């Protein structure tokens, strides 16, 4: 896959973009009504970085930013 994290296997998923009209009940309206649904994609924030694999070899990997900030991958210097 093109846009996929090599560590946690996070990838693009499909969903819906929902359009609504009306005023929410807590604001005094009769509630929100759905007027349309359109397909959309949720894409992970994947970066191409140079990483240390097994503490020895340097390899280019596609890794999501959540794995980078969690320390699951060690950046090469």
Give tens-digit pLDDT for 4-14. Answer: 999 999 999 99
Residue 2 pLDDT class (50, 70, 90 cuts): confident
Give CA separation, 10 vs 61, 62, 63, 66, in Å. 14, 11, 9, 10
Q: Full-prediction pTM beyond 0.85?
A: no
Return all residues near 25 (Cβ < 8 A) that are at least 6 apart. 31
Give residue-wise pLDDT tens across range 30-63: 999 999 999 999 999 999 999 998 888 999 999 9
Which domains are present in the chain? Answer: 13-75 (2.30.170)
């Amino acid at each position: 896959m093109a846009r996929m994290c090599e560590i946690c296997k996070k990838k693009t998923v499909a969903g819906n973009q929902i359009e609504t009209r009306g005023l929410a009940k807590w604001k005094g309206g009769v509630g929100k009504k759905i007027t349309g649904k359109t397909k959309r994609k949720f894409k992970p924030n994947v970066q191409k970085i140079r990483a240390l694999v097994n503490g020895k070899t340097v390899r280019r990997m596609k890794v999501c930013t959540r794995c980078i900030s969690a320390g699951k991958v060690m950046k090469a210097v």
